[in-house]
Structure 1
Amino acid sequence: MNKTILIVDDTPDLLQNLSDYLSMEGFRVIACLNPEAAILNLDRGVVPDLIITDLAMPRIDGLQFIAQVRTIDAFKHIPIVIFSAKPLHETQVTTSALEVSKYIKKPCPPDEILLYINQIFQQQ
């Protein structure tokens, strides 16, 4: 069974390119342009094996999205990767406080992102 990755990013080109790349690598990808769409997918029963999210997004930012996901028991175990141009130290939180598996700084080549994803899945 293919692993499902939920990607949340408000940059359409980046979202499409990363989604296409990961799909070609055999993952089932659910691409959402905002956290609201991602939450709607989760509410509809989508249970991803991994979530990749940007931080800087309108209305609901990535930190708020992560906090909301972590309040739902069914999603507490899901690894979350932050993929953002915003330095993590500017958020005044740490990956451990957010229960986040990895922080990846944009820009990052898709093959490097794939390497991180595979490392996370191997640790499970």
Structure 2
Amino acid sequence: MANILVVDDSASMRQMVEFTLKEAGHQVTVAEDGQAALAIAKGGLTSDLVITDVNMPNMDGITLIRELRSLPAYKFTPILTLTTESTTEKKMEGKDAGATGWIVKPFNPEKLLATVNKVLG
């Protein structure tokens, strides 16, 4: 299965997403904000997929997406946002930064897994 990096400042949200993905057989690494996730990525972790929140302290998800896209190992890695943000403007900002897809919280575990499977091909 896939190695997935999950980034969210909410511990309960990280746990729910991690549980859902692990139950489906994926390897999961978690980070509490964009800064921690970027450090993990720069530290050599290669992920098959990144799932990130948008609104986080230290480094928000949009900035994280831009930073990850500048790294050779993450240039083509699918990146999904999982956020309460649902405005067209915010979605376009995410797309312009390099987001592959957008999932609005609260999420349905089956829908999350279907989206993960779709972007992983």
- The CA distance in 2 between the partners of 1:13 and 1:81, in whole Å, is 18
Q: 1:21 to 1:92 in 2, by over 3 A?
A: closer
Counterpart-to-counterpart distance in 2, 1:41 and 1:51 = 12
- Structure 2 residues without counterparts, runs of 5 or longer: none
Task: Give, in angstroms, the shift of residue 88 of structure 1.
Answer: 4.2
After superposing the two structures, state which structure 1 stretch, 2-11 or 88-97, moved more: 88-97
SS in 2 for 1:104: strand
Alignment match, 1:113: 112
Please state whether the residue corresponding to 1:21 is helix, strand or coil. helix
The answer to whether the Cα contact below 8 Å between 2:62 and 2:94 also exists between their aligned partners in 1 is no
Task: Give 1:53's aligned residue.
Answer: 52
Q: Which residue of 1 aligns with 2:90?
A: 91
Structure 1, unpaired ranges of 5+: none
Partners of 2:109 and 2:16 in 1: CA distance: 9
1:34, CA displacement in angstroms? Answer: 1.0
TM superposition score normalised by structure 1: 0.90
Cα-Cα RMSD: 1.5
- Separation (CA, whole Å) in 2 of partners of 1:107 and 1:22: 16
What's the counterpart of residue 33 of structure 1?
A: 32
- What is the SS of the residue equivalent to 1:93? helix
Name the CA distance, whole Å, in 1 between partners of 2:35 and 2:87.
22
Is the 1:85–1:105 contact (alpha carbons within 8 Å) kept by the matching residues of 2? Answer: yes
1:107 counterpart SS class: coil
1:75-118 CA distance string (max 9 Å, x none):
10100001100124243734542222110011111111000001
Query: What CA distance in whole angstroms lies between the structure 1 residues aligned with 2:73 and 2:35?
Result: 18
How many correspondences in the alignment? 121
The CA distance in 1 between the partners of 2:82 and 2:91, in whole Å, is 16
